[in-house]
Amino acid sequence: MRELTVNLEERSYPIYIGEGLLTRAGDLLLKHGLSTKSPLLIVTDDRVGPLYLDSLTSTLEASGFNPVSFVVPAGEQSKSLDVFQSIITKALEVGLDRKSAVIALGGGVVGDLAGYVAAAYMRGVRFVQIPTTILAHDSSVGGKVAVNHPKAKNIIGAFHQPELVLYDLDTLKSLPPREVRSGLAEVIKHGLIWDEEFVKWCDDNAERLLALDPEALGYALYKGCSVKAAVVSEDETEQGLRAILNLGHTIGHALEAVAGYNELQHGEAISIGMIGSAMLGVQLGAPIEVYERTRRALGLVGLPTTLPEHLNTDRIMEALMHDKKFGEGKLVFVVPTAIGKVEIRNDIRSEWIFAIVERLKREESWT
């Protein structure tokens, strides 16, 4: 088992990564002082629940906890105020109190949703993250929780740190391969913004990662979480530095808005977005290898590196500009200056992005 700490003074918490952790959940929650007198509310979805809920419930009961559960439909549409309200109703029905905790068992959707319940219920109760996707190594660390509004993603939310994050590598075995690849995009992102060595390691271990080799996967998630933890420790509420975590996301979000989710998953969209950002970096003076190595790292785990041609560039630009409206009127870009180093720029001209989007479609390889 690997362990690391997110340092946030009195809100610091550990991340445990390893095999078989689900069956140790009871012990770990006891160790962290969660109350056995007050009910625990487990939130999960209808794909993860059938696989792991019974096991989690039994281990918690064996340790003397009193867990109840609420299962939401799998998928982004559960991150809504309606589902949020039904979980609050459940919490009231089972008498969740100030000493209770909410436990998220699932991917980023469940984590964000359950986390927002924990942030809001009685103005905040304790929260435990049990991530079951690779992407959720990102979403379960850092305390950003939210639900969506029909017109904007993650617009209703809070910063609410968990008490602990419990990452059982065994649960990742049931992940569809496309979810594996999509999650690896964020792992590689953490290398690209912070740690050149780790990017090299990902290249060398791409095969093992795709095969979910527990040793490789454990290390990769440990490194990914470490970068996220380091950034969040310095800038919990995104006053500055934390924005570097958005590498590839400005273009990525626009692509997600224009393509359907089935065509481009989040990790796939930001893979293309990170390649676009690398192009931008080169254009602004970074060495060409920044682009080449970004492209290589993502390609090696089977992520898309070019943009489907039928996605309309004007619509992508519109989606970008829509985002801009909420960022104080400026296009904000995270731009790599080297592998493992980025800067935040707000002087990016939309013509440059237009050209890059076109280029992302046209060329198999840019160089």
Among 30, 158, 257, 338, binds a copy of itself (CB under 8 A): 158
Please report, in angstroms and rounded to a whole number, the separation of the first and last CA atoms in the chain. Answer: 42
Catalytic residues: 123, 144, 186, 228, 238, 242, 246, 249, 253, 266
- Which residues fall within 8 angstroms of residue 223, CB to CB, at 6 or more apart? 187, 190, 191, 195, 198, 201
Show contacts of 93-97: CB within 8 Å, 24+ apart. Answer: 94/39, 94/41, 94/68, 95/39, 96/38, 96/39, 96/41, 96/121, 96/125, 97/38, 97/39, 97/122, 97/125
Tokens coding 60:
């918690």
Kindly state whether residue 48 participates in binding ligand NAD, applying the rule CB under 6 A: yes
Show the site string, 221-240: x = touches a copy of itself by CB under 8 A, - = not: ----------------x---
Instruction: Pick between residue 147 and residue 300 the one whose CB is nearest to a copy of itself.
Output: 147
- Using the rule CB under 6 A, give the single segment among 68-76, 188-196, 211-219, 347-355 that binds ligand NAD: 68-76
- Binding to ligand NAD (CB under 6 A) within 140-199 occurs at 142, 144, 154, 171-172, 174-175, 179
Among 9, 325, 349, 367, binds a copy of itself (CB under 8 A): 325
**What is d(CA 307, CA 196) in angstroms, rounded to the nearest whole number?**
26
Among 149, 178, 315, 362, binds a copy of itself (CB under 8 A): 149
Q: Which among 335, 348, 176 is positioned nearest to 267, based on CA atoms?
A: 176
**What is d(CA 291, CA 299) in angstroms, rounded to the nearest whole number?**
12
Q: What are 43's strand-pairing partners?
A: 70, 104
Positions touching a copy of itself (CB under 8 A) are: 37-38, 81, 84-85, 88-89, 92, 95, 97-99, 119-124, 144, 146, 149, 151-152, 155-159, 237, 325-329
Positions touching ligand NAD (CB under 6 A) are: 45, 47-48, 51, 74-76, 79, 106-110, 112, 132-133, 135-136, 138-139, 142, 144, 154, 171-172, 174-175, 179, 266
